[in-house]
Structure 1
Amino acid sequence: MSNEEVIIGSGTKYPLNGLLEIPDDTNGLIPAVVLVHGSGPSNMDAQIGNNYPFKDLAEGLSKKGIGVLRYDKRTLVYGKEMKNDTGLSVKKETIEDAILAANLLRKDSRIDANKIFIIGHSLGGMLAPRIDAEGGDFAGIIIMGGSPRKFEEILMDQNNDVLNSLNKFFKMIARKQIATLSAKFYNIHKMSDEEAKSTTVLGKYTRAYYFKEMGEHLTYDYLKVLNKPVFILQGEKDFHISVEKDFGGYKEILNDKQNVTFKLYPNLNHLFMPSVYGNIKKSKQEYKVAQHVDEQVINDISDWIFSV
């Protein structure tokens, strides 16, 4: 396979370095995928600690005959200037670049323009149906460790999980902090855009508008009208999201739809790697352990793409 350096958004305000992995033995046009990151600044390998899930996916899928495009996230490269943008939204942070990436693949003469897929991980999975609707126009959607819920609901659940693991003294302090955050999140959808842009909710820079704009474009609304193939995967030991609320939430919304495939993987974490500690409080230690995306996951994605 060959790794070709590309630029996503060449000629725009935010050009990004990317890599296009092309399989060696290509007979005719090949299918291809765009990899879309989860939350926070991230490089093209989606590096977390000593793990590189997007690199694993790119190498694994290209060995199966699938082209894979990955790239640095906009907030990694341009984070300093973007943090002062009061109108920062997932559209600017993620969606625009994913659409540009899909367009770049469409122009490649080696790739079947009718077989371009999106693999969204975590927040990228939550956004994948919206990316498709707003111009990605994919042949199918793969959601890895995503959620049909609002982003702030997931963050509050994560905070409560940490709270429940603390001793009595720290629990008291944390409970107050979480109650303050909960009140802020509760008010977000009552605010005007201008109010939301001038209100910070997390740290010094994350504005209420980021959550408000995302909450006005719910995954649910896109998925319920979607008829193209969708593959939803989750690790059973994923402590960032919930099997019951998230994987189960997708099933509840989409159970009667023939176009959706679900798979839950025993003992895999949020990166679709073997679970180490299985505890959100130990997430840093979990991701320090160098591992690889489970081979079964790569096989399943590849089989699904070729079956569509």
Structure 2
Amino acid sequence: MRRTCQRVAALLIASLALAATAAPPEQTATALLDHLQAGDAQAAEAMFTPELAKAAPADTLRALWRSFGEPRGRGTAQVTPHQGMQVVVQPLQFASGELTAQVAVDAGGRVAGLTFRPVAAPAAAAPDVPAGADYREQPLDIPTAKGTLPGTLALPTGKGPFRAVVLVHGSGPQDRDETIGANRPFLDVARGLAAHGIAVLRYDKRTHARPQDFSGTDYTVDDETTDDAVAAVAALAGTAGIDPRHIYVMGHSQGGMLAPRIARRSGSVAGVVLWSAPARSLLTLLPEQNRYLLGLDGQISADEQAFLDKLDRQIAAARGTAPVAAADLPLGQPARYWQSFEAIDPVADARTLAQPILLLQGGRDIQVVDTDWQLWKRGLARQRAVAFRHYPALNHLGIAGEGPGTLNEYAIPGHVAPTLIDEVAQWIGAQR
């Protein structure tokens, strides 16, 4: 998976509009893909804006396309306008799996952006609410200025009004259950808290529900997460049966890092739960995580070291001031995204909150480690309304296991530990 992600790193660049008469955008995208499939990367590059041609020259295109394997077909293209361009989303089938090509076509008909992303297998439908449960689930969509995000509200039975929680995802294009491998931690938490009489709203993250919103380079972590979470709090506060004085934000991983920021911007949050929340920048965590994972077999190969060296260079570029194409930055994310991330100090943000805070950390977490946990404890030691809960056997997803943590255990079906859910419910119930 690691090497696949490297091969399909996003190639994104801003466009310069040209005054020529343009062909329909789907026709332009088809011609581009035809050139690549025919092995004519030079012809494909000739369709690019100068900026994209510089970021993705023909040799790079040719190697990238070949890495996908034998083409097997294409699905139906969809076209969406975005920031003065037309973004063509084209499903592609290869012998090695499925990809989605996103081709941004400017007003002059030139290709201003090209992204290839792996298509995750669709998650199976969530299991039905158990018979006899003391809660029900109902749709609750999140209206925003940039499009509606679909969501689900787990609502306890009874008259209410009920205390309520908004769940905020970790990094990546997460669905409302935060499906990771064989696990659905948000489904576990939502139904577990609902069984305790607490309503829970979970929703599809924008990068999952509306990936077309990220086809350019002018977006930030607030566009990805913060603004939608604030909208989710507002939607929940206006829902019948919810106590608007007791709405809490429970953020997991990146969502936990941003929970204090969400609470401050909302102004309607009664408290925050920081679950496996980084205390440091993602650009600091990325090399640590990769070095740990690559070293699990006891050695780091020359190719792996080359990958780590490249990541270090990308991180240095992301922290620098010189203009850099998104393709040359970590995870293929544009400079403005990383700049917005680097400006956030999650511990300082938490210290400014007047609302109560609950922090949860697993002892087997390999993504947010004890260094972060200690930074949280030291940084919030003097805060009056802060509670800490540490679970030695739990991993990043709140699932129990044994031995050193690995990514492989995410593929093993499990459930968020009932103790964690119970203690969150007790903490919310104790707030006045």
- Asked whether the two chains share a fold, i.e. TM above 0.5, the reply is yes
Q: Unpaired segments of 5 or more residues in structure 2? A: 1-134
Larger relative contact order, structure 1 or 2 (CA cutoff 8 Å, min sep 6) = 1
Matched, 1:227 2:351: no
2:330 corresponding residue in structure 1 = 202
1:71 corresponding residue in structure 2 = 203
| Map 1:169-248 → 2, pairs under 5 A | 170-191=300-321, 195=323, 200-203=328-331, 205-243=332-370, 245-248=371-374
Matched position secondary structure for 1:48: coil
Residues 196 and 110 of structure 1: CA distance in aligned 2, closer, same or farther (over 3 Å): farther
Residues 236 and 109 of structure 1: CA distance in aligned 2, closer, same or farther (over 3 Å): same
Distance 1:165 1:50 in 2: 22
Distance 1:64 1:167 in 2: 45
CA offset at residue 37 of structure 1? 0.4
Distance 2:411 2:333 in 1: 27
Superposed CA offset, 1:24-70 (max 9, x none): 134x4210000000010111111111111111111110111101000
Aligned partner letter, 2:245: N
Matched, 1:263 2:389: yes
Aligned partner letter, 1:6: L
Residues 178 and 137 of structure 1: CA distance in aligned 2, closer, same or farther (over 3 Å): farther
CA offset at residue 154 of structure 1? 1.0
Residues 63 and 167 of structure 1: CA distance in aligned 2, closer, same or farther (over 3 Å): closer
Matched position secondary structure for 2:150: strand
Contact 1:128 1:141 in 2 (8 A): yes
Over the residues paired in the alignment, what is the CA RMSD in angstroms?
A: 1.8
Matched, 1:161 2:292: yes
CA offset at residue 21 of structure 1? 0.8
Distance 1:232 1:97 in 2: 22
Matched, 1:286 2:370: no
CA offset at residue 120 of structure 1? 0.1
Q: Which has the higher helix share?
A: 1
Distance 1:276 1:209 in 2: 40
CA offset at residue 190 of structure 1? 3.2
| Map 1:40-189 → 2, pairs under 5 A | 40-79=172-211, 81-135=212-266, 137-166=268-297, 168=299, 170-189=300-319
Matched, 1:35 2:157: no
Distance 1:71 1:176 in 2: 38
**TM-score between both structures, scaled by the size of structure 2:** 0.65
CA offset at residue 297 of structure 1? 0.6
219-228 or 49-58: which moved more? Answer: 219-228
Distance 1:198 1:299 in 2: 42
Contact 2:360 2:388 in 1 (8 A): yes
CA offset at residue 277 of structure 1? 5.8
2:155 corresponding residue in structure 1 = 22
Contact 1:220 1:253 in 2 (8 A): yes
CA offset at residue 199 of structure 1? 6.1
Aligned partner letter, 2:275: M
- What's the % identity of the aligned pairs? 32
Q: Unpaired segments of 5 or more residues in structure 1? A: none
Residues 218 and 247 of structure 1: CA distance in aligned 2, closer, same or farther (over 3 Å): same
219-228 or 38-47: which moved more? Answer: 219-228
Superposed CA offset, 1:257-289 (max 9, x none): 111100110211111111256333xx1x31121
Matched position secondary structure for 1:7: coil
Contact 1:86 1:197 in 2 (8 A): no
Distance 1:288 1:167 in 2: 22
Distance 2:265 2:351 in 1: 16
CA offset at residue 118 of structure 1? 0.3
Aligned residues: 297
Which 4+ residue blocks in structure 1 deviate beyond 3 angstroms? Answer: 196-200, 276-280
Distance 1:229 1:165 in 2: 38
Contact 2:264 2:353 in 1 (8 A): no
1:303 corresponding residue in structure 2 = 426
Distance 2:274 2:208 in 1: 22
Superposed CA offset, 1:67-100 (max 9, x none): 1000111111222x23422022211111111111
CA offset at residue 183 of structure 1? 2.7
Aligned partner letter, 1:217: I
Contact 1:61 1:68 in 2 (8 A): yes
Distance 2:146 2:202 in 1: 19
Matched position secondary structure for 1:125: helix
